[in-house]
Structure 1
Amino acid sequence: MDDIEGHHASDDHTRPGFLGREALDLGVLLLAAGAAHVLVLSLGHSDHGVQLLIAMGALLVAATALHRWHRHRSGAKKRARAVGLGPPRAPRPRTPESGERLWSVRVTLADVPGGLAELTARFAALGVDIRHMHVHPGGAETTDEFLVNAPAHLAEEDLYSVVHGTGAREAIVRPADVHELSDTTSRTLALVSALVEGAMTLEGALLSLASAQDVERVDAPPEGMEADDASGTTMALAAADGGVLVVRRVGVPFTAVEFARCRALVRVSESLRARARRS
């Protein structure tokens, strides 16, 4: 309490009071009045003193008015920009991403909670950005396909090392194309639309949907396979005419999810053909 009271007492002694402020303001006013009187007397006795006083007064008034107008205009522009009423600003130029490459990374992992955590953490540590992801469930294991943007200095071997360090198996790393970034649902609907309009054949649609390299129509499925079957990088799809569509892909085995998508696309094509024959 003593410290606090002493502090307040010190403030009362050092802080200027009402009388001090008034004396200061009065002194400034008297000084300004005396200076103005001297100026008026000195110029008033000259031949052009009155004209000079009028000119100086007009100049001061004009300068003050111009200054106030400029401040008002600047404030109005700032307020207009704040609410979006001002002239649109030129958009900043967008620079294309440089020094990066797009990769497809396909891995098989145990289908357990947190199975992807270590892999995604390793991606992040290397500056690898996951742009898209496909999940292909299959019993106790799941196949995950990532489309990633990786720094240019990372090679295919570096991505293989990241994947194998997580305990994943059947890893496949390959360069990817930017068109693969479109989601599977949109791509499938676009292919169905092309089939309806007759702009694409069923074989071409299967090539696009399965990212395959070859499709052929044969009388019987390959040896050891059934009419509707998938084994490794080969897929057989039963056709309505009794034949079989054989789809092949290099290096990347087909999953059950991809097989189901392709089989559904064949069924859609058959329905369209049947409707066209009835009409």
Structure 2
Amino acid sequence: MDAPRSATHRHLACEVCGRYPEPPKVRLTIANVVAMLPIELAVHAAVVGTGWPLLLKVLLLAATATALVIWVAEPGVRHLLRSWLHAPALRRRRALEVAPALWRARVTLPDTPGALERLSRALAKLGVNVLSIQSQPVTGGVVDALVLSAPGGLTDDDLLDAMATGGGAAPKVWTTTPLALVDAPTLALSLATRVVANPAELPYAAAELLGAERGFAHHPVDPAAVARGTVLKVPGSPEPLVLLRPDEPFTPADVARVSRLAELAEAAMLRAASGR
């Protein structure tokens, strides 16, 4: 694996406009003083010794020093001291580069003893820690959904290669957030309570449960996406529930979970209609 490239002041520039972030006020003040002081002294030395009227001297000193500082000295000093000016931002950038990152992963393992251990060992060689795991039996093996904590600098290719080396088939990874560590049964119960209280929340609760996007039954669906299993349609009332997850096909367990949630919403609607 290639070592992560160390951040320099060039990495702080905006990719669109090329501008750097505003440096801290203390450092900017020091840089401005460094730029202005030599020019002020030079202009004063050149003008004060002349026999011109005082008002003319003052106007000439103010105009000349201000113009030289704005157009020459300040941009030059900012350019020369840019690494020092942006040192605090660079330190924060370097800290982010080495900070652990969270990933969601899905991989198919053989349903044999030691398969998960081999996968964990391959990931551990990269310093990756498995934070949670959910297993779903499928034909020919077991699909494991993992939440991984990986050192900063690791890429998705690094994780995919490690899982393949550990005996995993069809590995996939996605960046994620600490929300992925929420206990799945607790999340499901919370969403079920939300749907019972308001059945109209079903599309949003289902999307949150499966980490998907809400689709609409009257919108055309790409047949290729249906074939890949990235579109899920669940019959419901008053219209079918459509969920989209372009990068991650739905599993039979996903279908079962959202179907039960839809049945719960329908039961809540019938109960409300009957006035019970």
TM-score (normalizing by structure 1)? 0.58
Residue 119 of structure 2 contacts residue 167 of structure 2 at CA under 8 Å; is this kept in 1?
no
Q: Distance in 1 between matches of 2:187 and 2:228?
A: 24
3-state SS, counterpart of residue 217 of structure 1:
coil
Change (3 A) 1:161 1:223: closer
Give 1:100 shift: 0.5
Partner of 1:234: 231
2:38 corresponds to: none
Within 5 A, what are the aligned runs for 1:1-279?
A: 99-198=99-198, 201-218=201-218, 232-241=229-238, 243-279=239-275
Please, what is the CA RMSD of the aligned residues?
Answer: 2.8
The residue identity in structure 1 corresponding to 2:233 is A
Q: What is residue 76 of structure 2 aligned with on the other side? A: none
1:216–1:246 Cα contact (<8 Å) kept? yes
- Structure number with greater Rg is 1
**Unaligned 5+ runs, structure 2:** 1-97
Q: What displacement does 1:218 show? A: 4.2
Give distance in 1, aligned partners of 2:241 and 2:256. Answer: 14
Matched residue type, 1:108: T
**Cα distance change, pair 233–221 in 1 and its aligned pair in 2 (3 A):** closer
| 1:77-115 CA-partner distances (Å, limit 9, x unpaired) | xxxxxxxxxxxxxxxxxxxxx721101111112222222
CA contact (8 A) 1:218 1:246 kept: no
Tell me, what secondary structure is at the counterpart of 1:201? helix
State the SS of the aligned residue for 2:115: coil
Q: CA deviation at 1:198?
A: 2.5
CA separation in 2, counterparts of 1:101 and 1:224? 32
Change in CA separation of 1:224 and 1:171 when aligned onto 2, cut-off 3 Å = closer
Give the number of the structure with larger relative contact order, counting CA–CA contacts within 8 Å between residues 6 or more apart: 2
TM-score by length of 2: 0.59
Give yes or no for contact 2:119–2:166 (8 Å, CA) kept in 1: yes
1:253–1:219 Cα change, 3 Å: closer
Aligned length: 179
